[in-house]
Amino acid sequence: MTINIRKVTVLGTGVLGSQIAYQTAFSGFDVTAYDITEDALAAARDRFTGLATIYRDEVPGAHDGKAENVAAAITLTTNIGAAVREADLVIEAIPEVLSIKQHTYELLSTIAPERTIFATNSSTLLPSAIVGFTGRPDKFLALHFANEIWKRNIAEVMGTTHTAPEVFRAVVDFAATIGMVPVEIHKEKAGYILNSLLGPFLVGAIELVGDGYADAATVDATWKIVTDMPAGPCQMLDIVGLNTPYNILANGTDHQQQLAKWLKDNYIDQGKLGVATGEGFYRYDTSPR
Ligand code: NAD
């Protein structure tokens, strides 16, 4: 199988989809971005404009109008047939709802060319939960980016047992070509590498504070002094936003559900979601962008 990726279609133009589309276009690929409504596309245009400003400030080579030209060059459409008609690679970044993803792949399987590779950016769903709907198990895998793709530039690549090795390799190469550090994962793992490490670490911190063993500042100081890291887990949780750990813990063991309730009662219900709202485990003078 000869694989040549030139035309890339991104499904979903929200937080991650817009970044994936922009970074891919910035790297010289022909990019089409699809979303379900004109309002979503209008929001995507605003996101691309915002990304152009960020790239101009933070990314080498984005000057002399390139950042703006990239934003303008991305084709936006609400017509899924037109979006995928010529795609070599479809990167899906639609909501993290299994039934929505399954229905979307079922539709894609009938309208995309046979050669088209499908990649899901899902953070929590295993590709094997979706592969049966793709109509092309050998050409389907996960390609997982991190938020703020231009600086947190990893791309975790994870196939199912059906993924063809040459497809896996082509997607690894594509990730490298768009400036990512490809992370090759040899078999399916919920949470990939990053969240498999980060999840227990952050939950451990919530347990220490929520169960009353120590306060947030003590937990963070312990971590920072010994590891030389600039931030402790409670500071990191404030950056991530406390809704995310809440949602994870609320679906966990009995003890984790108690911790979720503690987070809800003491932080979330009081509007303390972290840096974004000016207060979480710590108080912040200014809100980040
Ligand atoms: P988001 O809510 O910001 O964006 C989702 C987009 O999909 C919206 O623009 C919405 O209009 C669109 N959409 C809704 N239904 C659709 C459909 N049927 N077909 C096409 N588009 C549809 O979500 P997000 O945060 O960008 O997350 C998208 C995916 O990326 C999820 O699978 C998530 O797990 C993954 N992801 C998110 C992050 C993150 O930090 N936000 C990081 C890595 C991976």
Supply the pTM of this predicted model: 0.90
Q: How far apart are CA 4 and CA 271, in angstroms?
A: 49
| The two structure tokens encoding residue 189 | 């793992």
Taking phi over 0 as left and psi of -120 to 50 as alpha, with beta for the rest, 189 belongs to: beta
Tens-place pLDDT, residues 225-263:
999 999 999 999 998 899 989 988 998 899 999 999 999
Neighbours of 21 (CB within 10 A): 32
| pLDDT over 90 percentage in the chain | 92
pLDDT attached to residue 289? 41
Q: Is the CB of 36 under 6 A from ligand 1?
A: yes
Tens-place pLDDT, residues 199-233:
999 999 999 999 999 999 999 999 999 999 999 99
Question: Which residue has the least CA distance to atom 44 on ligand 1?
Answer: 123
Testing ligand 1's pocket by substitution, the residue of 9, 11, 13, 16 carrying the most ligand atoms inside 8 A of its CB is 16
Closest CA to 69 of 41, 35, 28, 33: 28
Please give the sequence-ordered ranges of beta strands (E in DSSP) within the chain, or none if there are none: 7-11, 30-34, 75-77, 89-92, 117-120, 140-145, 154-159, 181-185
- Which pLDDT band, with edges at 50, 70 and 90, does 167 fall under? very high
| pLDDT over 70 percentage in the chain | 99
Q: Is the CB of 84 under 6 A from ligand 1?
A: no
Tens-place pLDDT, residues 24-37:
999 999 999 999 99
Q: What is the mean pLDDT of residues 49-63?
A: 96
Q: How far apart are CA 148 and CA 155, in angstroms?
A: 12
* Ligand 1 centroid from CA 169, angstroms: 25
* Ligand 1 centroid from CA 207, angstroms: 29
Tell me 61's DSSP state: T
Q: Is the pLDDT of residue 286 over 80?
A: no
Domains of the chain from N-terminus onward: 7-185 (3.40.50.720), 195-277 (1.10.1040.10)
Question: Which residue has the least CA distance to atom 40 on ligand 1?
Answer: 147
Tens-place pLDDT, residues 122-155:
998 999 999 999 999 999 999 999 999 999 999 9
* Ligand 1 centroid from CA 16, angstroms: 6
Q: How far apart are CA 98 and CA 131, in angstroms?
A: 12
Q: Is the pLDDT of residue 49 over 70?
A: yes
Cβ atoms of 166 and 203 within 8 Å: the answer is no
Q: How far apart are CA 6 and CA 29, in angstroms?
A: 6
Q: How far apart are CA 234 and CA 95, in angstroms?
A: 27
Q: How far apart are CA 61 and CA 105, in angstroms?
A: 36
Q: Is the CB of 95 under 6 A from ligand 1?
A: yes
Q: What is the mean pLDDT of residues 70-90?
A: 98
